[in-house]
Each structure stands twice: as structure tokens, then as C-alpha cells.
Amino acid sequence: MESKLIFKVIEQVSWDRLIYLTYRDEEVVGINYHQGTCDMIESYRDTPCPHITAIYEKLVWYERNWSGSAKRTEEERVVKAIDLYRKAFNSDLFEEENEDVKADVLRLSTQLFEEAIELTGTYFLSDYIDMEIHEHLDKEKADEIVARRNRLRAKCNAVGLDFHGISQDVAQKWMNKMNEIHIESDEEYTERVAAIQDTTLTIPKGQTDVIRKALDFYVEFNKRLNSLPTDSEAYELFDMKQLSAMMNYKVTVSLDENEEGRFTSTHGIDLPIYC
């Protein structure tokens, strides 16, 4: 009877990455990793990288068969295998060719996310396309986008590009463009803001610090308590990290006349008055 596979995830904060280990009979038989410690991606866990795994097995063989070989802990051996794998793809011997390939992969990856925006009218982050794009496109087109995502993500990993970061850059550019259009064209919005100026509150830094600390505590506590979050939980944690970052800036809250009048009865506490 074949023994069961056991999975383990190692969070390396200093490298900002998650390492996925697969065990059989207490031996490591599969290794993969991805940059970023917020999102747990099951496809990385379920699909070990054969090259990293082969390097790891070679390190084990040398340690067991050569007395002069370095003796490492399991995690040190895993880190060494990943380091050798990354160096193989970023060697100075292939620097010029690698830069050309990286530029092409970057261009194709950027085009993918820009095309998704053009087709749907909204942005998508790399690891969540397959969860959301089917809501906007027919199955054939959505499956094509997801397949391209999978191929380009693998190519980015191979040449040392941050595929998730590329999707974030495209999303940020799109949001900036939407904000510019909104500011330039929505005169009615400007008039509404002016009309409720007396009921617009700026939250003091002391209170935004409290909100930020609460969000950071929740994210850190959740990561320690739940090492295998669902896709929706991982997406929620990502949103919380973004919201926590926003607390470092000026935050205002606007209430219309009715909302201001019902604040105390609705929440059981007086509306704050900030100097």
C-alpha cells in the first residue's frame, strides 16, 4: 500500500516567500515556492517544481555519501536548493539573453492583464483570475485567459519576474486612470461634497493608528492560526493589508444630514467631534 503524501508550508518572512514541501515516508519528495507571504496558492503546493526537487535530492545524496559535504538542516538544504535553482536562471553567463527573455515575458504578462481589463471593465490580480473572470466572459474565452495566466506565471518564475507584482502594477495604473476620469468629469460629485462639507470628518492619526494596528493584528493572527486559508480568505487578507496601508494617510468620513441625525440611535454612541 502506497504511503500518503504529507504537505507542509514554510513561511520565510526575510525572503518574503512561502515554501511548499511534499513528504512521503518522512522524506521530502517535492518542493516549490512563490514570492509573497500573504497568499497561500494551492497550485504551488500540489505541483512541486521538478528542478528544485532534483537539486535537493542531489544535495541529500552528497551529504549521505561524501564525508566532506556540508551537513545542513532540512530547511537549510531546501533554501540551498532554491538558491541554486534561482542562480541557474540568473547566471551572468546568460545575462544578456535572460534580459531579452525577461523583457518579452514582462510585455506579454502586462498585455494579458490589460486585455482582461479591456474585455471586462475591471482589473484582476494574478492568482484570482480563475475565480472571477468566468463571471464576466463566456467559458471559452475565460478558460483561454486562465491558460495564458498559467503559462506566463510559470515563465515569470523561471526568469525571476514577480508575476503577481505585474498584475498589481497594471491594476494600479487602471485605478489611477479611473480616478483621473472621475475627478475631471464628475462635477455633480464635487457639488455633493461641497454640500456636505459641514458633516465631513477627518479621522485623527491616533485613531487611524488604532485601526491599522487592529488590521495588522488580525492579519498576523489569522496567518498563525490558519496556515491554509481558502481563496476567499486569502483575498480578504490581501484587502486588509491594503486597507492597513491606507491608514497611513488622511482618512475622511462623510455623512449626509439624515445619517448624522441617526448616528447616535443607530450605533448607541455619540458622533465624535474632532478639533
How far apart, in whole angstroms, are the C-alpha atoms of residue 239 and residue 225?
18
Q: Check residue 250 and give left, alpha or beta (phi > 0: left; psi -120 to 50: alpha).
A: beta
In this predicted structure, what is the pLDDT of residue 21?
92
**Structure pTM?**
0.36
What is the DSSP-derived secondary structure letter of residue 16?
A: T
In this predicted structure, what is the pLDDT of residue 29?
92
Of 170, 128, 121, nearest to 145 by C-alpha is 128
Residuewise pLDDT in 10s, the chain (275 residues): 567 888 888 888 877 888 999 998 888 999 988 877 666 677 777 788 889 999 999 998 888 887 666 678 888 999 999 888 887 765 554 555 567 778 888 999 999 889 888 888 887 787 777 777 878 888 888 888 888 888 888 888 877 888 888 888 888 888 888 777 666 555 665 665 555 455 788 888 888 888 899 888 888 888 888 777 788 888 888 888 898 889 898 888 888 878 888 888 888 888 887 76
Of 254, 270, 272, nearest to 262 by C-alpha is 270
How far apart, in whole angstroms, are the C-alpha atoms of residue 89 and residue 92?
9
DSSP per position, 164-183: HHHHHHHHHHHHHHHHHHHH
Of 271, 219, 233, 273, nearest to 13 by C-alpha is 219
In this predicted structure, what is the pLDDT of residue 53?
92
Q: Tell me the per-residue pLDDT of 76-131, one tens digit each, with 9 for 90 and over.
A: 999 999 888 887 765 554 555 567 778 888 999 999 889 888 888 887 787 777 77
Cβ atoms of 180 and 139 closer than 8 Å: no
Largest CA distance in the chain: 80
Q: Which amino acid is at 13?
A: V
Set of cell numbers at residue 200: 465631513
Cβ partners under 8 Å of residue 169, min gap 6: 110
Q: How far is CA 222 from CA 208, 215, 218, 236, in A?
A: 21, 10, 6, 11
How far apart, in whole angstroms, are the C-alpha atoms of residue 177 and residue 224?
37
